[in-house]
Structure 1
Amino acid sequence: MSFFSRYKDYAPLRSDASTTKSNSRKYTLLLTVALIAASGILNVVLYSKLSKRWPVPLDNYQHLNVQPIVNEEFLSTIGPLDPSENAIVTSLYTDSYATAIATLGHSLNRVNSSAGRILFYLPEKVSPRALCIATSSGFVPHAIERIPPPHGGRGVYAHFLDQYSKLQLWTLADRGIKGVVYLDADTLVMSNFDELFALPYGFAAVPDVYVDEQGFALAFNAGVLFVRPSRAVFDDMLAKIATASYNAHEAEQSFLNHYFGAEALRLPYVYNANLAIKMRKPELWEDVRREARIMHYTLVKPFLAEMDNSGKTVVEMRGMEANVQNKMSQYGGKFEDELKDWVEIWRETRRTYADAFTQCSSKSASLPS
């Protein structure tokens, strides 16, 4: 009896231990479920807060500031520029941009810019006919040596392979040039911008704009630049383009953003009215376009035949208006007004420099051998 009594006394002890372990497992499971639930709730709260945060000001743009971009009193103090010390520069690396540069030159004439004009070109890549057309409206040809992309061009978009040659802008110090406004060939001047030459800074550009999630970027677009030429800066940049760490896709634009990223003066959008602004925020575009100094035909290039803007085909002058008409439907016709602006100035260009264009037609369209 004492044995069984002892057994019975012991048996409940084993039952309590088992219950304790079972309860412990339950508590652990409940704690795990609670932590998972709390984590889920926290994630939902954080997502809700992030999704409801205020958009960046330009994505929330409103027509608030109606004042002019540049102080009128300051503008009145700017006299004619010395063309031997101040220059507007563009570049020609392929024949397909020649008519665009002729049109750009005429747009400068229309706004009475007093700066000198210089056309950078690569002699081995431009035909005599294209050079003649490009210089017909006032640009003075200046042959430059191509600056090859670092690392054999690995990672650089094909249409940007010659763009490092833009760094030759800084060598204009050798010619006594103190101030340069560089304009890509796919730009069009809408209003005088001589005030840029009064800037005390060494480098200025307009922030870039993307239609995707990058939106209104801090990085700048290299299609319009203000530069204080310097041989020392040129030599320094040339020594670093192959060793600096940057995205190679956008070539010289990416490099310049890293080289001048902290020092660059960011200019208002009116100095580089990028068509991407209209895609991103039409309300902002309305105000930018009204005061635009320089229009930049980034997404649609009226003078190129291809819809992808590859520039492999040269559009003849007689077919230019039809070519622009073909481009009207791109992006659902969103840029019809801007394309009309370009073709109107092209018509003026063709009429104004008809004699010069006739002389150009007698020149060779073949590249130098």
Structure 2
Amino acid sequence: MKYDDYLPVWDEKKAQRLRNGSRRCSWVPIAVAISVLLNVIFVFGPKKAIPSGNPQAPSLTALDNYQHLNSQPIVNAAFMSTTTPVNSNENMIVTSLYTDAFAPGVATLGHTLNKVNSSAGRLLLYLPEKISSRALCIATSTGFIPYPIKRIPPPYEGVHPHFLDQYSKLTLWSLDSLGVQSLVYLDADTLVQRNFDELFSVPFNFGAVPDVYIDEPGFTLGFNAGMLFLRPSSSVFERMVAQIGTANYRAEDAEQSFLNHFYGSEAVRLPYAYNANLAIKRRKPELWVDLKKEARVVHYTLVKPFLQGDYEEVEVTQLEKNVVGQYGAWGGLFKEELDDWAEAWRETLQLHGTMIAECRRGHYRV
């Protein structure tokens, strides 16, 4: 308007204040723009490492943000010196066999148990309608005692094809009928590196190791069912079988998902040393370096040294060649672990090769 600049002549001081205010107001949009720009840079700009001890630590799990801080052994030697020796009739190490293809894995697992001088008994759960006499003979060549079980079929559709027989693992809880008071279960794709008899002194009813995924969610509280500690109870077994078809859980992961729901907050989380899942090496290599110093059991989750293709059987004479053929998997990340398994297999052949050869010829001793 044409009177915008008009000021009364009788109030010169007020006029001066208005002129100054007008000049100040002209800087407001510039100040706002600068403020917005600085906030954008702060939020989206490159982040500097937060100094050690800063209370505003990175929002990662302690394992994703792994640091070598603690060198204390996992097991307290002074306490273990006060415990009673393991009774091989009451304390068992158990594995399972649902397909012939895993027989060399079971044999190698048995050898590594012998090598670390475990005092526990050995038991192999198997499905008689699915396992050949040849495979059972190979699997038991290193000390596992065969124990036929009845298959527990999946109660839901949508179970992963590799896990269709895995509900049969629940039979572990019925082994109190054999006088078993506690047991450690190991999948056939595991390798024992150190004695873990200390687990039989654990006072709890159930323990397992938290699971790990190579991507999200990464380290979790949910546990992996490839290694379990438990105290059998037939009444618990009956309750489990009655509930697998009524409980609400992810069907694809079969018994592992059910057990995570069944035990929920009551499951004791054991250290990763008792189920050193290869996914840890993929997820956090720095953690894996330290973990191997204490690892009792290595779990070959991402590569299966004794299998080819989609869980297909490998002829015994071709196992070492099969291991070499897997060197390139995952960019060669697991070559060292594959070599560890191959070395254990060679030792198995050196000590039990005669019996394994007899198994292959059809001279079964099971």
TM bucket (normalised to shorter chain) is 0.7 to 0.9
> Partner amino acid for 1:339?
L
Tell me if the contact between 1:128 and 1:364 (Cα under 8 Å) persists in the aligned partners. Answer: no
**2:169 counterpart SS class:** helix
Rounded to whole Å, the distance in 1 between the matches of 2:237 and 2:69 is 41
Q: Identity percentage over the alignment?
A: 59
Q: How far, CA to CA, are the matches of 1:343 and 1:214 in structure 2?
A: 31
Query: 2:331 is paired with a residue of what secondary structure?
Result: helix
C-alpha distance 78-356 of structure 1, shift in aligned 2 (>3 A): farther
Structure 2: unaligned runs, 5 residues or longer: 1-35, 48-56
Q: CA deviation at 1:45?
A: 11
2:101 maps to 1:93: no
Shift of 1:351: 1.0
Offset, 1:76: 2.4
Does 1:121 find its partner at 2:126?
A: yes
Deviation at 1:354, TM superposition (A): 1.4
| Distance in 2 separating the partners of 1:53 and 1:283 | 17
CA distance in 2: counterparts of 1:218 and 1:131, whole angstroms? 35
State the shift of 1:265 in Å.
Answer: 0.2
* Amino acid corresponding to residue 211 of structure 1 in structure 2: I
Structure 1 partner of 2:361: 362
Amino acid aligned to 1:186? D
1:243 aligned residue: 246
Partners in 1 of 2:136 and 2:181 — Cα distance?
26
Change (3 A) 1:265 1:48: farther
Number of the residue aligned with 1:67: 72
Equivalent position of 2:301 in the other structure: 298
TM-score (norm 2): 0.84
Judging by fraction of residues, say which structure has more helix. Answer: 1
Quote the offset at 1:84 in angstroms: 1.0
Task: For 2:68, give the aligned amino acid.
Answer: H
Match of residue 170 from structure 1: 173
- The alignment yields a C-alpha RMSD, in angstroms, of 2.2
What does residue 289 of structure 1 align with?
A: 292
Counterpart residue identity of residue 115, structure 2: R
Task: Pick from 192, 196, 201 the counterpart of residue 195 of structure 2.
Answer: 192
- Once residues 55 and 243 of structure 1 are traced to their aligned partners in structure 2, the CA distance between those partners, rounded to angstroms, is 36
Give, in angstroms, the shift of residue 363 of structure 1.
2.0
Matched, 1:317 2:316: yes
Q: Which amino acid aligns with 1:268?
A: P
The whole-number CA distance in structure 2 between the counterparts of 1:149 and 1:72 is 43
Once the two structures are superposed, what CA deviation does each residue of 1:196-220 show, in whole Å capped at 9, x if it has no partner?
A: 0011111000000001111001100
CA distance, structure 1, for counterparts of residue 179 and residue 41 of structure 2: 61
Superposition deviation, residue 362 in structure 1: 2.2
Distance verdict in 2 for CA 1:263–1:44, change over 3 Å: farther
Give yes or no for the alignment of 1:141 onto 2:140.
no
CA deviation vs aligned residue, 1:154-209 (integer Å, no higher than 9, x gap): 11000100000000000101111000100000000000000000111110000000
Range with bigger deviation, 107-116 or 52-61: 52-61
SS in 2 for 1:218: strand
Task: Please state whether the residue corresponding to 2:63 is helix, strand or coil.
Answer: helix
Please say if 1:214 is aligned against 2:217: yes
Question: 1:324-335 residue pairs with structure 2 within 5 A?
Answer: 324-335=323-334
Q: How far is the alpha carbon of 1:77 from its aligned partner?
A: 2.8
Distance in 1 of aligned mates of 2:82 and 2:319 = 40
Structure 1: which 4+ aligned runs deviate by more than 3 Å? Answer: 43-49
Q: 2:265 aligns to what SS in structure 1?
A: coil
Q: Distance in 2 between matches of 1:128 and 1:173?
A: 27
In the other structure, the counterpart of 1:350 is 349
Is there any run of 5+ residues in structure 1 with no aligned partner, and where? 1-39
* Alignment partner, residue 264 of structure 2: 261
* Aligned amino acid, residue 133 of structure 2: P
How far off is 1:78 after superposition?
Answer: 3.6
Structure 1 residues 143 and 44, CA, compared in 2 at 3 Å: closer, same or farther?
farther
Q: Name the count of aligned residue pairs.
A: 319
SS in 2 for 1:284: helix
Deviations 1:17-75 (A, max 9, x none): xxxxxxxxxxxxxxxxxxxxxxx99x9899769x9952111100001001111112123
Contact 1:127 1:364 in 2 (8 A): no
Indicate yes or no: 2:117 matched with 1:112.
Answer: yes
Within 2, Cα distance between the matches of 1:355 and 1:341?
22
